Amino acid sequence: MSLIAITEVKKRFGDNEVLKGISIDVAPGEVVAIIGKSGSGKSTLLRCINGLETIDEGSIVVAGAQFLPDEVHLKALRLKVGMIFQQFNLFPHLTAGGNVMLSQMVVKKTPKKDAEAVARKMLDRVGLAHKFDALPDELSGGQQQRVAIARALAMQPIALLCDEITSALDPELVAEVLAVVKELAAEGMTLVMVTHEMRFARDVCSRVVFMHQGRVHEIGAPEDVFSNPRTPELRQFLGVQ
């Protein structure tokens, strides 16, 4: 049974239809990379899975939680899928530890002591246990993104959505973030990531989705998609002839 079931999803911004009927099923433990040109709808799709965008048609179901645009359903959905953003979006007035503790205390009503224990564990998991008291401003981009991952993990999601999480990083900081993601994948976390890191997609992902003009243009195992692109659009995107 699929963990994330996306069926015939359509999304319009005014007259502009950015998702033209997307269907993807993600099995538990799968790592799916979504690639494609900017404007192909890949980020929008990811944001729909987390309920940050509404959908006009179709359905999204994550482990039994149906995406409906009311507060109760949104909360149920968001408790199942965590999201990590390109711009980290850490809360600037809270320390790294505070960032990881906040939603546990506010949403799950976890007592402060327990939330702190979880936060320390999660920061340790991303290799930042020693930065518990640092403010986001005092961290490098790579460290901030790892705190963001720890913050999402602290809610114990069953899947993580990564929206170009290394695109805002200096080249030398990309590796430390990808290493954390790779480790999560190895531990069996279900991941859906929009990425431009083709090598990473090839090495780590179980499936690659190539989106083009609001549709799933090609989908398959990374070796097929990368070594044997069937359509001219994908060949052009990958820069192979």
Residue type at 34 in one-letter notation: I
Amino acid at 114: D
Q: Which stretch binds other proteins (CB under 8 A): 76-84, 171-179, 190-198, 226-234?
A: 76-84
Nearer to other proteins among residue 193 and residue 216 (C-beta): 193
In angstroms, the CA 36 to CA 229 distance is 13
Q: Tell which positions 121-140 bind other proteins, by CB under 8 A.
A: 135, 137-138
Q: With contact defined as beta carbons under 8 Å apart, do 160 and 83 qualify?
A: yes
Binding to other proteins by residue 54, rule CB under 8 A?
no
Only one of the segments 37-45, 69-77, 182-190, 229-237 lies at the binding site for other proteins (rule: CB under 8 A); that segment is 69-77
- x/- mask, other proteins, residues 156-195, rule CB under 8 A, reads ----------------------------------------
* Site residue total, other proteins (CB under 8 A): 30
Within a 10 A sphere around the Cβ of 170, how many other Cβ atoms? 10
Structure tokens given for 36: 């494609």
- How far apart are alpha carbons 193 and 99 in whole angstroms? 22
Helix (H) or strand (E) holding 61: strand 57-62
Footprint of other proteins on 193-232 (CB under 8 A):
none
Closer by beta carbon to other proteins, 19 or else 81: 81
Residue 20 corresponds to which tokens in the numbers above? 């033209």
Nearer to other proteins, 40 or 43 (CB): 43
Q: Which one of 40, 43, 44, 50 is in contact with other proteins (CB under 8 A)?
A: 50
| Contact window for other proteins (CB under 8 A) among 14-22, 148-156, 189-197, 225-233 | 148-156
Terminal alpha carbon distance of the chain: 37
Q: Which of 36, 41, 51, 214 binds other proteins (CB under 8 A)?
A: 51
Helical segments of the chain, H only: 42-49, 71-80, 96-107, 112-125, 141-153, 171-186, 198-204, 222-227, 232-238
**Going residue by residue from 79 to 108, which x/- string records binding to other proteins, judged by CB under 8 A?**
x--xx-x-x-xxxxxxx------xx--xx-
SS3 of residue 28 by DSSP: coil
Nearest approach in angstroms of CB 160 to other proteins is 11
The Cα 53–Cα 163 span in angstroms is: 14
The residues that touch other proteins, with contacts defined as CB under 8 A, are 50-52, 71, 74-75, 78-79, 82-83, 85, 87, 89-95, 102-103, 106-107, 135, 137-138, 148, 151-152, 155
